[in-house]
Structure 1
Amino acid sequence: IITPFQLYFNPELIFKHFQVWRLITNYLFFGPVGFNFLFNMIFLYRYCRMLEEGSFRGRTADFVFMFLFGGLLMTIFGLFVNLVFLGQAFTIMLVYIWSRRNPYVRMNFFGLLIFQAPFLPWVLMGFSLLLGNSIIVDLLGIAVGHIYFFLEDVFPNQPGGGRLLRTPSVLKAIFDTPEDDPNYNPLPEERPGGFAWGEGQRLGG
């Protein structure tokens, strides 16, 4: 029903023929099912989850803003490099941000290499090179990840620095749940059927 030719990043088709969906769909195609596809899925799931449960825990709006900021930068850079799908670069961006925020974690790559987490994106780039893939994708992901990390984690802590990336209030209103009022004391609810159903646990608690 849908072919990659309907999904890939093509500035002419986007801006002249108004096929704006390509701005998003080019991030969603990782090639046919095979080693490269599984490799990307595993890393995308793993490091996206670790970021969400780690440094972005309780900050869903900031997490979404990172996605939007990274996607916007990659789209701009994509106008100047010959890349038709940017999903793998996005995965490398997530890996880079996680690795810089966890600099003391020791990594084991297929039991062959042991190194500190900040070297992981470069190891992946070297592995991609060995597989005969273009390293432009990896370099783009590393560059965008570094820009985000610098603006979010490094520059605000420098003398005279400041926070340049601010999550829009509309995203906070949509994704961040309001804090519980400590003075709120709800009335006890009757348990249906007279059974002791057990105490519930608030999601994310």
Structure 2
Amino acid sequence: MANVLAGGDGLMGQFPLEQWFFEMPVCTRWWMTAALSASVLVQCHIINPFQLFYSFRTYWRLITTFFYFGPLSLDLLYHIFFLQRYSRLLEESSGRSPAHFSWLLTFASTLLLCIAPMFSMAFLGTALSSTLIYIWSRKNPDTMLSFLGLIVFRAPYLPWVLLAFSLVMHGTVPKDEMCGIVVGHIWYFFNDVYPPLHGGHSPLDPPTWWIRLFDGPPPPPVVETAEDDGFADHGAVDNGPSADVPAQ
């Protein structure tokens, strides 16, 4: 569509919404797309929420549990807004390659899948989103935020403000957001606090094989060779200083 509208100039002819979508980093883009698609399919009665909730018995639910945030509603838009905003900011700050951010998503998702049965959580999308919000807030401690235009606070308080807002709106303790904060703190501690205290070693860095999945093998090292400067004769052998022999 962009090529037709712009005569082949790519993003120049895209609609604002389309351009905003394709400017998102790849992991955030597809996670948000999957979340919206799941809600639309449930709203249209094409699939049932019980086909998406967390269960070890069917392997695809280990993934779909992170996609469903509820039916089409203002509450869904609220979750989608925070998902795409802070997931995007965190992914953009992790570099051009999706290897590091996808490793963060994999680690957080695995940990949430392990602790979810303890709290009877069926859907883990909100928990994973809360994990990313917590990590971003701790990485940007001096950023000032405003919530609903009513209160202004520093970024590290954002997860707790959202938790209190959920408590007021739903009247129950948001277990998923609390679990997300715990998982986020584990990642933040071992990725940002632990390394400076232990010689820069970070136990949660992605392994080499994971990085190769996204970036391919590293380029071969460049071997520098000595170049001829145009003055030395490389074929000559230095036999030391010569002595003049007087003629007999």
User: When the two structures are superposed, what TM-score results if normalisation uses the length of structure 1?
Assistant: 0.80
> Mapping of 1:67-146 within 5 angstroms?
67-132=105-170, 133-146=172-185
Q: CA 1:43/1:177 → structure 2, altered by over 3 Å: closer, same or farther?
A: farther
CA RMSD of aligned residues (A): 2.1
Deviation for aligned residue 1:180: 8.3
Q: Which residue of 187, 192, 202 maps to 1:148?
A: 187
Q: Which residue of 2 aligns with 1:4?
A: 49
In terms of fraction of residues, the more helix-rich structure is 2
- Structure 2 distance, partners of 1:63, 1:159, is 23
The aligned counterpart of 1:196 is: none
SS in 2 for 1:114: strand
Counterpart AA for 1:25 = T
TM-superposed CA distance for 1:72, in Å, is: 0.4
Asked which structure has the greater CA Rg, the reply is 2
Structure 1 stretch displaced more, 164-173 or 75-84: 164-173
Quick one: which of 14, 39, 61 aligns to 1:22? 61
- CA deviation after TM superposition for structure 1 residue 8, in Å: 0.5
Between the two proteins, what is the percent identity of the paired residues? 40
Change in 2 beyond 3 A, CA 1:167/1:89: same
Counterpart-to-counterpart distance in 2, 1:77 and 1:153: 23
> Equivalent residue for 1:162?
201
CA drift at 1:82:
1.1
Q: Would you identify which runs of 4 or more consecutive aligned residues in structure 1 move more than 6 Å?
A: 177-181
Q: Which residue does 2:226 correspond to in 1?
A: none
Compare relative contact order (CA 8 Å, sep 6+) and give the higher one, 1 or 2: 1
Q: Distance in 2 between matches of 1:2 and 1:59?
A: 34
Partner of 2:89: 50
- The count of residues paired between Structure 1 and Structure 2 equals 176
Find 1:62's aligned residue among 100, 104, 109.
100
Letter in 2 for 1:57: G
Report the alpha carbon displacement of residue 160 of structure 1 after superposing the two structures with TM. Answer: 6.8
Shift of 1:179: 7.6
User: Tell me, what secondary structure is at the counterpart of 1:92?
Assistant: helix
TM-score, normalised via structure 2 length: 0.66
Q: 1:91-141, CA deviations, whole angstroms, 9 ceiling, x for partnerless residues?
A: 111110100000000000011110000000000000000101532111011
CA-to-aligned-CA distance 1:135-190 (integer Å, 9 cap, x gap) = 21110110000000001111111257732113122221122367889x9xxxxxxx
Unaligned runs of 5+ in 2: 1-45, 223-248
What stretches of structure 1 of length at least 5 have no aligned partner? 184-205
